Every structure is written in structure tokens, then in C-alpha cells.
Amino acid sequence: MQNEIHLGLDRIRTLLFRLKNPQKDIPTIHVAGTNGKGSTCACISHVLIRNGYKTGTFTSPHLLEVHDMISINNQSLDKSEFDLLMSEIEEVNVDINASQFEKLTAAAFLAFRKNQVDIMVLEVGLGGRLDATNICDPPLVCVITSIDLDHVEFLGNTIREITNEKGGIIKEGAKYVIVGPQRYLECENRLLDIAKSCNVPIHFVKAKEDICCQESVPFTEISIFETSLRFPVVLKGHYQIGNASTAVSAILALKKYAPNFNRITEEGIISGMASVYIPGRLDIVKYKERYVTIDGAHNVGAAIELARYLHENTLHPRCWVVAFTHSKNALDILKPLIKNGDVIIATVFSLPERMPWIKSMDPENIRCLVGQIGSFDTFVADSIVDALALTEKFKNYQTIVCGSLYLVADFYRLRSRTSV
């Protein structure tokens, strides 16, 4: 069981009971959705920290090290502390057979209790209703980012089914629901029904299509609770306007409905939003005397947004370094990305620590999928090292690494060992 994904709350409930329920009585912002969860969590956490609140954040998957999933005031949990927590969890897990993700979730709760955080920001791992993070008390604010078709083998084959799972984090007793911009009206209608059934007020974020610049920094504006606020959007990509607007709306809901968080100021929100940085999301970095675009786009919605950014900001031709988890619909992810004249290098990522259910797609399969789209120069590489070596033949191309955050992690590890 530990090597597979098993949704459900029974195991995590028993595990946490034996650990004296560390998740209890910690104020929570809970974030679900298909795309934008990580960016939204990062924005929320940065703003809370800038406003003086000790903030625990749990996100997944990890980028470089497994203990990076758990952070306090944006500092990853120390590995020695993480190892002690996992040992404590294993001692009570003997007959529960909790999954790796359930144990990691329990470790986050333990870390937050022991470090006496003021609030925790939880990113759902998969779905929402039956995700281990949903064992938390009713959140102060439930946040639903953009919903799309993904993980259909676990969440359902239709947008309605998937929305039911994502909306499962909305509970009676929650203070407010913030819903980010949605591609499908059906998502909004269903989330409205769920919120009404739980007697929780809900707000649908309408992000502005355009942004203005102030000293070369993009700004946008939202209106909520009869308040308008302008703030910077420093993360690249048009879709980040929606994520940033969703995060700021959640912060303003927290301030309005949770008295312990009334110290939040507009200045603190603006300062926090200006400080956000997330590796692996449209990150342009130097590697061996050239620049490489890194993005974790791993589903169709994210691929469409990446394609939009590249269309607006870069020129052809492009050299793609791609890898996918074995269950992904790689064909539909590739379709909006690759264009005539592009080169594709299919590779694999290294197996992520403590996530044995994650497997890389055979790059030969990726090569076949590319062939279904059109006639492209396509190569296969055994690792990110070999893939980047192949890109040396295409120095006049824009190199882009995408398709999986696990591949992105391999790139950052390699870069840390290489003279840039």
C-alpha cells in the first residue's frame, strides 16, 4: 500500500490520533485546485510572514529534498528535525500502514505544533475531499484555484466529478471560500452549491485581463469586501495574475473573518507579494553561458499557459527537454507546445525520495507521441545530463525544460553542481 496512491481519511485519522492530533486548533488556509496551488500557497505564505505571522506551509511534491515540503517562515524544515518526526511517526504506524504522503502530512502537522506556528497553509496533494490534508479542522479560508481535467483515474472523468473532489475541502465551520478564475462555468456553479450546503460564504475572483507597470514591475488590482487594492505580480506568466489575485483575496478574507489576523495591512500585502519567488515556475536561469526556461507544466491547462507566455515573450525555434510521469496524457500536453521547426529531447527523471508511486514515462513512448503530432527532430536521452548535452547542438534555439516538476528538480540539482 505504501508504494501506491490510496485516498481516504481513515488511516491519517488513526495515525494522528496516536500522535495526539497535532493538527487540532491550528488556524488553517487550505488550498485545492488543478493548477496554481503552489503559486497561490507561496503568495499567501509570503504575505502572512511579511505581516508578522509565524507561518507553516506544507506543499507537494518537494522540489529538491523531501523535507522541503514542510517549511516554517519559508525556511525548509531541518533534515535532522524531519528525520526525528518521521521516526516518531513510524513508531505508531506499525499496524496502520499509512501511505508515504499520509506520513509526510502527519510530519507537517507535528512540525507546526512543535514550532507553535500562528497559521498553517496546506496545499492539497491530490483531489481534496479524500486527501490526507483534509483531516484538518474547518479552515479559516478554503481556496480553490483553477480546476481542469487531471488525475482522472483517481478523481473522475468529468469536470463535475473533479470539482466535487476539489470542493470537498469546503466544510461547515469554515469562515470563507475563495475561488480563483475558472475555465469552466460548471466549476463555479458546483462550488457555489457546495458552499451553500455547508453554510459558508463564497467569493469568485475575477482577475483583470491586463496589468500596468510601475517602475517596470507589473501591478494588478482586485476588489473584494468593498475594498480595492493594487499589488505587484512578480511571477512570470499571464496566469499568475489569477493566482496572485486569488491569494490576495484569501488574505483579505482572513483579515475580515478571523480577528487574530487583523494586523494584516495593505503595506504588508504589497511587500509580501513583491517578495514572492518560486523555482520551477517560468524560471529563466543561466546554465553554461546560456539561458534556459524552466517550467513544471505537467497538464494541459499549464501547457496552454506556458505556450501563451512563450508566444508573447520568445522566438522560434525551441529545443524542448521533456519528461512526464507515466500516467500523464503527454500527447495533449505536447500539442499546444511544440511548433514546426522545434527539436524535442525526451528523457526521464530520477525517482523522487519517499514517493515510490511516482514513475517516469518511457522516453521512447514520448518520441512516438511526438510523431503523432507531426514531423519533428526527436531524440531520446537517458537523463537530464545527457539531454542538456544534446541541446549543445542547438545553441541558437531557446531551450525549455518542462513536463514534470521531478525533471525540473533534476535540472536544479545538476545546475548546483555545475559552473553556471
Tens-place pLDDT, residues 377-395:
999 999 999 999 999 999 8
pLDDT of residue 78: 95
Domain boundaries, the chain: 10-274, 283-417
Cell numbers found for residue 10: 481513515
**Which amino acid appears at position 409 of this protein?**
A
The values of phi and psi at residue 122, to 5°, are -110, 125
Higher per-residue pLDDT: 211 or 271: 271
**Percent helix, strand and coil across the chain, each to the nearest 5:** 40, 20, 40
pLDDT band at 259 (very low <50, low <70, confident <90, very high): very high
Is residue 174 a contact partner of residue 142, using CB atoms and an 8 Å limit? yes
10-274 architecture in CATH? 3-Layer(aba) Sandwich (3.40)
pLDDT band at 1 (very low <50, low <70, confident <90, very high): very low
Is residue 385 a contact partner of residue 411, using CB atoms and an 8 Å limit? no
Q: What angle do CA 169, 44, 265 make, to 5 degrees?
A: 125
Evaluate if residue 420 carries a pLDDT over 60.
no
Residues paired with 227 in a beta bridge: 224
Q: What angle do CA 139, 141, 142 make, to 5 degrees?
A: 85
Q: Which of 88-97, 180-189, 304-313, 342-351 has the lowest mean pLDDT?
A: 304-313
Is residue 320 a contact partner of residue 343, using CB atoms and an 8 Å limit? yes
Cβ-in-10-Å burial (0-12, 13-18, 19+) of 263 comes to exposed
- d(C-alpha 117, C-alpha 55), whole Å: 6
Cell numbers found for residue 352: 523522487
Pairing of strands 55-58, 70-72: antiparallel
Is residue 182 a contact partner of residue 147, using CB atoms and an 8 Å limit? yes
- Is 323 in a helix, a strand, or coil? coil
Is residue 319 a contact partner of residue 398, using CB atoms and an 8 Å limit? yes
- Alpha-helix residue ranges (DSSP H) falling in 79-210: 79-92, 100-114, 152-155, 159-166, 185-197
The alpha carbon dihedral of 315, 319, 324, 328 has a sign of positive
Is residue 324 a contact partner of residue 298, using CB atoms and an 8 Å limit? yes
- d(C-alpha 291, C-alpha 394), whole Å: 13
At what angle are helices 405-417 and 384-391 packed, to 10 degrees? 70
**pLDDT tens digits along 42-63:** 999 999 999 999 999 999 988 8
- d(C-alpha 31, C-alpha 145), whole Å: 7
pLDDT band at 419 (very low <50, low <70, confident <90, very high): low
**If you search the block for the grid coordinates 521512447, which residue do you land on?**
364
- Is 220 in a helix, a strand, or coil? strand
**pLDDT tens digits along 99-130:** 999 999 999 999 999 999 999 999 999 999 99
Residues 73-87 have a mean pLDDT of 96
Can you name the CATH fold of 283-417? Protein-Tyrosine Phosphatase; Chain A (3.90.190)
Residues 33-39 have a mean pLDDT of 93
Of the candidates 386, 396, 290, 416, the one whose C-alpha atom is nearest the C-alpha of residue 341 is 396
